[in-house]
Amino acid sequence: MIVFEHVSKTYPGEVAAVRDLTLEVREGETLVLLGTSGSGKTTTLKMINRLIEPSGGSIVLDRHDVQQLDVTELRRSVGYVFQGIGLFPHMTVAQNVSIIPKLLGWPRARRRRRALELIELVGLESGAHADRYPDELSGGQQQRVGVARALAADPAYLLMDEPFGALDAVTRDELQQELLSLKQRVQKTIVFVTHDIFEAITLADRIAVLHEGRLEQVGPTEEILRRPASRFVRNLFDKPAKQLSAYQELL
């Protein structure tokens, strides 16, 4: 469980990115942080593993205040999938996937075994892809490797920062479906950042809508769709819904 209590983040000389955020991520759920750019959703995510340090408030991860934890150990224990992929270009797929096990000091053979297993798990072929370099893979394949890397040390938490944002619609849909089926097989608590409403609806157990650094509403997907708590939330979902019905009329 991850608990945000009155968390705020202000960058020097700028308006607050996150204001007084109180939020709970429950065990085993997928919570989607949904918002437009500048809403503070990525900042919120990065404060969990302290890629960004909060200005105030506290974040508690499994009853430990993250500020009290050793920062490198914290990051190794939480899986993170980066926006824009962020693979290490000078390492092979297998080396990328097993980087955290390497930092944790696993023996070489065990690392390799784990890497091959994960490469298969995310839908790649270990024989064909393990010893390639990231630039020899397609964008979708690279992002699968990113997911595999985050899962390597079997973390209880998975943080995903717009992981499918740079992919084409077809590949994105494919990866979303695979993430859903992956969720059935590995029990993870996932915090997923996106600005894509359909992605949020597809993946979320609960959605937290952020706007200008404030939490507008948090709740199960259905509840947010049926009973938007503010005008902003209603507008956020209305526009794509209108586009969708316009599209259906055309057909």
Partner 1 sequence: MDVSWGQFILERLPELWLRTGEHLMLTGIATGAAVLLGIPIGIVCSRSRALRGPALSVVGIMQTIPSLAMLAILLGLIGKIGALPAIIALTLYALLPIVRSTLTGLEGVPDRVIEAARGVGMTRRQRLWMVEFPLALPVIVAGIRTAAVISVGIATLSAFIGAGGLGQFINRGLSLNSTRLIVFGAVPAAILALLVDFAIWSAEWGTQPVRQKEKASLRARLKRPALAMPVLLVALGVITFVTELTPHGLAMRWASSQKAGGAGAIRIGSKEFAEQLILAEMMALMIEDRTDLSVDRRFGLGGTMICHTALTKDEIDLYAEYTGTG
Identify which of residues 20 and 120 has a Cβ nearer to partner 1 in the complex: 120
**Rounded to the nearest whole angstrom, what is the least distance from the CB of residue 83 to partner 1 in the complex?**
8
**Rounded to the nearest whole angstrom, what is the least distance from the CB of residue 84 to partner 1 in the complex?**
5
**How far apart are alpha carbons 76 and 110 in whole angstroms?**
17
Identify which of residues 45 and 197 has a Cβ nearer to partner 1 in the complex: 45
Burial class (CB in 10 A: 0-12, 13-18, 19+), 7: buried
**How far apart are alpha carbons 106 and 99 in whole angstroms?**
10
Identify which of residues 103 and 225 has a Cβ nearer to partner 1 in the complex: 103
Identify which of residues 135 and 249 has a Cβ nearer to partner 1 in the complex: 135
**How far apart are alpha carbons 161 and 191 in whole angstroms?**
8
**How far apart are alpha carbons 213 and 193 in whole angstroms?**
14
The footprint of partner 1 (CB under 8 A) covers: 49, 51, 71-77, 80, 82-90, 92, 99-100, 103, 131-133, 136, 149
**Rounded to the nearest whole angstrom, what is the least distance from the CB of residue 27 to partner 1 in the complex?**
23
**Rounded to the nearest whole angstrom, what is the least distance from the CB of residue 189 to partner 1 in the complex?**
17
Residue pair 17/43 in contact by the 8 Å Cβ criterion = yes
**Rounded to the nearest whole angstrom, what is the least distance from the CB of residue 63 to partner 1 in the complex?**
21
Angle at alpha carbon of residue 73, lines to 72 and 74, rounded to 5°: 90
Identify which of residues 87 and 191 has a Cβ nearer to partner 1 in the complex: 87
